[in-house]
Every structure is written in C-alpha cells, then in structure tokens.
C-alpha cells in the first residue's frame, strides 16, 4: 500500500485508543480467573456442573435457532414474495419484537401462563424476540434474487411448493445461515429471558456466581468459557456471510411479488399473525393490564426513572458515537495493519455477551478505577463497550457505501486528509452515524445486566425497575415502567425499521 494511504495521525490515535480501551477490561477478567492458578481454572471448567451448563445452554441455542430459522424465513417470504396487501406494514410489525426487551416479554409470559417457567418458556420468548434477525437478512436477499427463476422452475414442471424449496430457498440459504448464527449468538448472550424464567444457562449462572459474592474466580472462568463459545459462533457467522450467492446476469430485477397459491399463503399468514400476536401482543397487553391494575404508583419516581434511563442512554449514545467515529472511518477508508487490528478488536468485542463485559468492567473498576466503581462514568463505559461494535458497523457501512472518488476530488481541490474527513467523509456518512447513535441509545435504555452490575446503588433505570418489581411479582408497580420502556424502545425501532423496510418492500 502506498505511504499516502496511511491514516492521518489525528485519526489513528483516537481510533487505536478506542479499541484498546474496549479490550482492556478483558485483561482483568483473565487476571481474575487466574487468581487461584491455572489448575483451579481447569478444575472449574472440567466438572460435571459446567458440562451440564454447556449442554443446557447449547440445547436452548439449538432449539431457538432452528425455530427462528423457520419462522424468520416464512415471514420474510410472506412480506417479499406473496401478494398479501399492506406488505410494508406487515414487515414493520414483524420487526417490532426487536424493540421489546426479553426480560419484559418473559415476565409477561409467566404471569400469563405460570407453568411455562423454564426451558420451553425461555425458548418461546427468545424465538419471538430474535426471529427478526433471520427475517430481515432473508427479506433483503429475497428482494435481490430473481423471481423469474421461480417462474422458470414452474414452467419446467415444478409445483409451487417444489419451486419454493428447490429454487427460492436455495438462493437465500446464505442469508438464513447468517441470520441463524446471529440468533445463536444472541441466545448465548441473553440474560433477561433466562434469568426471568429461572433457567440456569451461562449468563444467569455467571451473574449468580458473581452476586453470591464469594466466588469471583468461578464467575470469571465461566465468562471465559462463554467467550470461547461466542467467538466460535462469531467465526462461523463470518464464514457463512462470505458465501453469498450472486445473481447471474445483468438486467434490472422486475417486481418480486407473485400471486401465490392460497395453500402457501394461509399457513404463512398464520405464522406471521402468531409472531406479531405473541411477540408484541402478549407483552403489550400485559403491560397495559398491569398499568390499569396499578396501585400505589409513585409517579414522581416513574418520571425520575425515565429521566435516568434517558440520561444514561444519551450519555452512552454520544460517548459511543465519538469513540466509534474514528474507528469506523479508519476501517472503511484507511486499510492497513492498524485498521486490520481495529477491525479484529471490534469483531472480538461484538461477540462478548453483556454480562461478561459488565463483569470485566467490574473487575477493571475494582482494580484500577476504584473511585469510579459503581459511578455513572463506569456504567457508561461498560455500555459503550457493548454498543461500540454496533455503531462502528453502522458508521463503517455508510462510509463504504460512498465512493472514494469524493475524497479524491476533495484532496485535489486543496483539502488535507483530515479536513476531507470532516468536510466530505463525515457529512456523507451522517445518516449512518445518526442511526448508529440511535441504536446505542435504544440499546442502553434496554440493557439489563450491565446496568445491574455497574449502576450506582441509588440509581434506578427503567430496566432495573422492571427487573426489581418483576422478581418480586409486584404487578401493582411494574405497569408504568413497562409501558414507558416499550414506548421509548418502540419509537427508534419504528424509525429504523421503516428505513430498512422501505428498502426491502417497495
């Protein structure tokens, strides 16, 4: 690479700082787990209760992932290829479960059907929460595949079902794979649903071991095992994403909608209606009924909690965007060893479950930043690490979509590399940067385990209040918090998904 393509100093230094900052707490996690020596780490890993834990977590992951692959693909087909009316509305409603935190819907489910408590309840809740991870990429890919291939298959004598199986599904299988692996990654990291359903998977046990107080080594060691599982999934996901099938031949894609036979549409519609009804309907209706049955609601407390959630969310959003901006620009525009390193670091961070990051920030805080431990800066710091990959991804994608010719022209017109970043690169990427910021705010408002572990003791956010009241089944108080959180989370989700939806369904 040419010397001239190297990143300007003013960009490289903050970017490098950002990724190092994101990785440092992990060192403290390793350090804590090694406190009693390597032998005790190995002892902790190779005992039967750890094996049970691994098996249970993997079983949950497999069940949810398979269910999501089926539900997500069917829903994607329905909104992109079938001839049902109001398809954009369908897609938007079908993406809404992304806005509902898993601990909230889990609590709604067990108050409705208490016997669901456990493995199957967690499976249902997690499936309903994460099928959009399959649906959205599959819908996008379906939009880009040629529906005429379907017509060709039909004209060659295939039945509608056979054409769907042999042609359409084959074409989108890379998107199904990639989406399914995202779901798997989400399931191993989820804390809210398993904790509410009281099922002992990695995240819940790690949290418990830490909260029990006497065994930081066990919590840290199990975190390392969980990191290994997550990294493995992440690597497989990368692989799967690499193999995307390309359309053969040029020519614009004609309309993708096909008049589809009723015996295909009817079952798909049934699944879509259930996804929406169970995924959004159950938590929303529960929250409203809690609200109506609410007694002794201290409204001043509700408002101050909303304020606290917003405050922490906004701080996290701003901090994460500032940190992510140099990293995203570096990765997208200045390829080289430094940008490869940053990319790798962000990639590792992306696979880390929230509980693990929170825990490593705790150990980091205890050992190095004691005055900040259980103060707002450390809470924002922990959340920033969690959402950094998301925002970097958003910034990077929007920069990569714009042509490098813009930057070349700017430089030839007498603007330095750094000024070009400010005058051209950032303005062009502004929508992506804003979207990334919104994602971080939304995530921070919903985030439960990090807030539980890192918040100042007197600070309550919507997430922790819901957690507090749900763990004692206080239906009288939980309503306003649940409604507020859903409204807060739904708004940015609605905006973000409208943008995506309009791209997918015209």
Partner 1 sequence: MNTALELRGVSHGYDNVAVLNDVNLVVKPGSITALLGPSGVGKTTLLRIICGFETPQRGTVTINDNVVAHDGVSLVAPERRGVGLVPQEGALFPHLSVSDNIAFGLKHRRSVETRNRVQEMLELVDLAGNAERRPDQLSGGMQQRVALARALAPRPAIVLLDEPFASLDASLRVTVRTEIVAALRQSQATALWVTHDQQEALSCADEVAVLLGHRIAQHATPVDLYRTPASRSIAEFVGEAVRVRGAAHGTTATCALGELVLAQTRQGEVTIVLRPEQIELDDAPTAHSPRGEVIASRFYGHDGEIDVRLPSNEVVVSRLHARLLPPVGATVALRVTGQALAFA
Contact set with partner 1 (CB under 8 A): 2-5, 402-403, 405-406, 408-417, 423-424, 427-428, 430
Q: How far is the CB of 342 from partner 1 (least distance, A)?
A: 22
Angle at 19 between CA 100 and CA 232, to 5 degrees: 60
Count of alpha carbons within 13 angstroms of residue 405, beta-carbon side: 1
What is the residue whose two structure tokens read 């819901």? 466
Looking at the Cβ atoms of 198 and 411, the one nearer to partner 1 is 411
* Minimum CB distance to partner 1 smaller for 431 or for 476: 431
- Shortest distance (Å) from residue 348 CB to partner 1: 30
* Least gap, CB of 339 to partner 1 (angstroms): 17
Closest contact distance (angstroms) between CB of 409 and partner 1 is 5
Radius of gyration of the chain (CA): 24
Tell me how far apart the alpha carbons of residues 198 and 210 are, in angstroms, rounded to a whole number: 16
Q: How far is the CB of 74 from partner 1 (least distance, A)?
A: 37
CB of 251 to partner 1, least distance (A): 17
The answer to whether the beta carbons of residues 393 and 401 sit under 8 Å apart is no
> Distance between CA 440 and CA 285 in Å, rounded?
27
Q: Give the tokens for residue 414.
A: 């007498």
d(CA 189, CA 386): 11
DSSP 49-77: HHHHHHHHHHHHHHHHHHHHHHHHHHHHH
Minimum CB separation of residue 326 from partner 1 in Å reads: 20
Token code pair at residue 98:
């992304």
Number of H helices, E strands in the chain: 25, 0
Name the residue nearer to partner 1 (CB basis): 144 or 415: 415
Query: Residue 86 or 499: which CB sits closer to partner 1?
Result: 499
In three-state secondary structure terms, 130 is helix
- C-beta of 431: minimal distance to partner 1 in Å? 10
Residue 427 CB, nearest approach to partner 1 (Å): 5
Q: 3-state secondary structure string, 322-361? A: HHHHHHHHHHHHCCCHHHHHHHHHHHHHHCCCHHHHHHHH
| Minimum distance from residue 398 beta carbon to partner 1 (Å) | 12
Q: How far is 56 from 140, CA to CA, in rounded Å?
A: 33
Cα–Cα distances (Å) from 504 to 8, 72, 137, 151, 487, in that order, read 37, 15, 10, 21, 25
Q: Pick between residue 213 and residue 337 the one whose CB is nearest to partner 1.
A: 337
Q: Which residues in 193-323 belong to E strands, given as ranges? A: none
| Pick 239 or 403: Cβ nearer partner 1 | 403
Tell me if 463 sits within 8 A of 305, measured CB to CB.
Answer: no
DSSP-derived secondary structure letter, 6? S
Determine the Cα–Cα distance for residues 224 and 218; give it in Å rounded to an integer. Answer: 10
| Distance, CA of 244 to CA of 157 (rounded, Å) | 27
Q: Which long-range contacts (CB under 8 A, 24 or more apart) does 113-116 make?
A: 116/197
Minimum CB separation from partner 1 for residue 337, in Å? Answer: 17
């Amino acid at each position: 690479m040419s010397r001239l393509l190297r990143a300007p100093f003013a960009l490289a230094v903050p970017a490098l700082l950002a990724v190092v900052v994101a990785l440092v707490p992990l060192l403290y996690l390793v350090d804590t787990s090694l406190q009693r020596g390597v032998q005790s780490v190995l002892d902790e890993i190779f005992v039967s209760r750890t094996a049970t834990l691994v098996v249970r977590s993997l079983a949950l992951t497999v069940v949810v992932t398979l269910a999501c692959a089926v539900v997500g693909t069917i829903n994607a087909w329905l909104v992109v290829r079938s001839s049902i009316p109001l398809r954009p509305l369908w897609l938007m409603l079908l993406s809404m479960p992304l806005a509902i935190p898993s601990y909230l819907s889990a609590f709604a489910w067990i108050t409705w059907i208490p016997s669901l408590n456990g493995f199957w309840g967690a499976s249902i809740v997690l499936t309903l929460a994460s099928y959009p991870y399959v649906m959205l990429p599959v819908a996008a890919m379906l939009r880009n595949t040629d529906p005429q291939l379907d017509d060709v298959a039909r004209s060659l004598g295939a039945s509608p079902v056979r054409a769907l199986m042999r042609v359409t599904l084959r074409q989108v299988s890379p998107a199904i794979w990639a989406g399914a692996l995202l779901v798997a990654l989400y399931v191993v990291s989820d804390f809210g649903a398993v904790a509410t359903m009281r099922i002992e998977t990695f995240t819940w046990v790690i949290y418990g071991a830490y909260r029990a107080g006497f065994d930081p080594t066990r919590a840290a060691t199990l975190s390392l095992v969980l990191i290994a599982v997550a990294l493995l999934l992440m690597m497989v996901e990368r692989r799967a994403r690499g193999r995307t099938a390309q359309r053969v031949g040029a020519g614009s894609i004609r309309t993708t909608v096909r008049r589809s036979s009723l015996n295909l549409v009817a079952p798909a519609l049934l699944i879509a209606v259930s996804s929406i009804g169970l995924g959004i309907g159950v938590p929303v209706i529960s929250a409203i009924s809690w609200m109506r049955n609410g007694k002794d609601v201290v409204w001043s407390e509700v408002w101050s909690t909303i304020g606290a959630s917003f405050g922490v969310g906004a701080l996290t959003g701003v901090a994460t965007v500032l940190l992510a901006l140099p990293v995203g620009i570096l990765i997208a525009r200045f390829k080289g060893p430094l940008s490869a390193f940053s990319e790798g670091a962000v990639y590792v961070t992306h696979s880390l479950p929230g509980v693990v990051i929170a825990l490593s920030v705790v150990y980091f805080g205890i050992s190095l930043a004691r005055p900040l431990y259980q103060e707002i800066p450390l809470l924002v710091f922990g959340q920033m690490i969690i959402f950094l990959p998301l925002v970097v991804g958003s910034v990077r994608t929007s920069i990569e979509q714009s042509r490098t010719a813009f930057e070349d022209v700017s430089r030839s017109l007498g603007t330095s590399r750094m000024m070009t970043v400010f005058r051209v690169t950032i303005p062009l990427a502004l929508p992506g940067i804003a979207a990334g910021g919104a994602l971080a705010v939304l995530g921070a408002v919903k985030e439960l385990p990090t807030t539980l572990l890192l918040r100042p003791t007197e600070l309550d956010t919507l997430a922790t209040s819901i957690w507090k009241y749900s763990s004692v089944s206080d239906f009288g108080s939980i309503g306003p918090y649940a409604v507020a959180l859903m409204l807060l989370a739904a708004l940015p989700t609605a905006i973000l998904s409208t943008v995506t939806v309009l791209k997918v369904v015209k």
